[in-house]
Amino acid sequence: MSVPVIAGLGAAQPPSASQDELWEGFFSRHFSGTTRSLAQRIFANSGVTRRQAAVNPLLEDVSDWPTERRMRRYQVEALPLGKEAVGRALTAAGLDASDIGLFIVCSCTGYATPGLDILLARDLGMAADTQRMFIGHMGCYAALPGLGAASDFVTARGRPALLLCAELTSLHIQPSTARVDTQQIVSHALFSDAAVAAVVVPGGRGYALREVTSVTDTSTADHMTWDVTDAGFRMGLSPKVPQVLSRHVRDLVDGLLARHGGVSSDVDGWAVHPGGPRILNVVERELALPPEALAASRATLDEHGNCSSPTVLLILDRLSRSTPAPRRIVMLAFGPGLTLYAALLDRQD
């Protein structure tokens, strides 16, 4: 039975703006009173220098838009972005859209029917018998269960699968308020837009997907939320999240590696979702990693912000293009639940 292999990655991002431009041109006016000074400190210490936005607040203020209007705009913006990412991933894998047996789309920032899975399958020329799966509201870790589902399909059917993670967090800027709401300030300082696609095939060159695993601490389910409101989707992000991660991440990673005869020192590539600087600091400390181990994650946060589900794939793409490319990679992502996901990849030449 062939090992499932990530044979191609493709990324697409809307235009970017610097964090300073976003603060001076929009968010400094969006917050008022004592909230403004707090927000300025959070923006300055976010670990983000540039971010991408399909709906740039410097040009268009969506903070008072109703959810219906945001969802209509989601379809307009996400479709070409997803198409570009998928096209690049297919080209990298040397495949046509008609070769795909399963098409998985992950997104928590917009909903419509027909959705991206149907419209992209139509526009790209996928076969009529291509199976489709939509993964919604899993948030920042969705890419890993998406890869797990693609891997299972490839293993069982011997046909290629395609995963697309597409998020437009820029559509969900919340209305201005004089009340101090640290959770909203943090989310407004971190989040960004992107689409990343991955092609998984039976065997060949690329990164073999050895295992996807997870742990969920349901006692902390209220620590990370994403609520549908009349004014878009509203993030809830407890400052206690790093503490929860610190309790679980070491056992999760050690168990994953042990099942494949390895230890953390065998890993030369770490793709850790940068939910924020504190998240990366906790992972680095709990796994006893050297300072350079999370360089790709910190650089991705710096250049792209937190793009939710595509982010860990952006880091994987960065690692795969480095010289020399890592031989063994651990991917880690975190989200609502509170859930930790991990995946183990080995390079096959």
Residue 1 has a pLDDT of 66
Q: What is the DSSP letter of 56?
A: -
Q: What is the pLDDT of residue 178?
A: 64
Q: What is the pTM of this model?
A: 0.96
Active site (annotated) includes residue 140: yes
Per the listing, tokens 């300072």 go with 291
In the chain, what are the domain boundaries?
4-202, 206-348
**What does the alpha-carbon distance between residue 330 and residue 349 come to, in Å, rounded to a whole number?**
18
Over residues 66-79, the mean pLDDT reads 97
Question: pLDDT digit string (tens) for 95-139?
Answer: 999 999 999 999 999 998 999 999 999 999 999 999 999 999 899
Express each pLDDT in 40-53 by its tens digit.
999 999 999 999 99
pLDDT per position as a tens digit, 11-35: 999 999 999 999 999 999 999 888 8
SS3 343: strand
| DSSP reduced 3-state for 235 | strand
Catalytic one of 106, 140, 165, 307: 140
As a whole number of angstroms, the distance between CA 101 and CA 90 comes to: 13
Fold of 206-348: Peroxisomal Thiolase; Chain A, domain 1 (3.40.47)
Sign of CA dihedral 24, 29, 35, 37: positive
328 neighbors 262 (Cβ within 8 angstroms): yes
- Asked if the domains at 4-202 and 206-348 fall in one CATH topology, the answer is yes
Average pLDDT of span 318-329: 96
Sign of the torsion angle spanned by Cα atoms 269, 272, 273, 278: negative
Tens-place pLDDT, residues 260-285: 999 999 999 999 999 999 999 999 99
Q: What is the pLDDT of residues 164-209, one digit of tens each?
A: 999 999 999 999 876 778 999 999 999 999 999 999 999 999 999 9
Tokens of residue 94, six digits: 């040397």
Q: Which CATH architecture has domain 4-202?
A: 3-Layer(aba) Sandwich (3.40)
For residue 346, give both structure tokens. Answer: 């080995």
The token pair that represents 209 in the structure block: 């997907």
> Three-state DSSP class for 258?
helix
